[in-house]
Amino acid sequence: MSLGDGVMKKFLTLLAVAVLTIHTSSPAQAHSKITSFSPRPNSVVLELPQKVTMKFSEAPLTFKKKKVNLISVANPRKEIISIGETKVVGKSLVVALSDQEAVPGKYLVTYRMASPDGHVVSGSYRFSLSSS
């Protein structure tokens, strides 16, 4: 074995380690995803739910004094009907709703969740309250 063969063997070993490191990602490196909604997007409900719940693939990141996770719900008149703070319960975000301003039509749910990896999952969806 010549000197060149030893260098080449080390190079190939390092290359193999680098490739395995890059292609082997752990689940903790993946961004959190929404696994369920209540009420579901584009659903029609007969009565306003008492709360909105969103479950994620990982528990939301929390800080003692900072509000980094949020669910806000607006009625068809664009009045905010979510009451109190958004709570983290296991892998879910939950917010209570006031039925004082329950009117038939489309409701807008806006959310923001901080994943354990620091990535923010945010967006919005609608559900409808039936008039019957």
Read off the pLDDT of residues 74-118 as tens digits, 9 standing for 90 and up. Answer: 999 999 999 999 999 999 999 999 988 789 999 999 999 999 888
38 domain-assigned: yes
Q: How confident is the model at residue 67 (pLDDT cuts 50, 70, 90)?
A: confident
99 domain-assigned: yes
**Which residues, 6+ apart, have CB-to-CB distance to 98 below 8 Å?**
81, 82, 83
Q: How confident is the model at residue 131 (pLDDT cuts 50, 70, 90)?
A: confident
Q: How confident is the model at residue 25 (pLDDT cuts 50, 70, 90)?
A: very low
Q: What is the extent of the structural domain holding 42?
A: 28-129
93 domain-assigned: yes
What is the CATH number for 125? 2.60.40.1220
50 domain-assigned: yes
49 domain-assigned: yes
Q: Work out how many domains the chain is built from and give that number.
A: 1
Note the pLDDT of residue 16: 53
Q: Whole-model pTM?
A: 0.75
Q: Residue 80 and residue 47: Cα distance in Å, rounded?
A: 17
23 domain-assigned: no
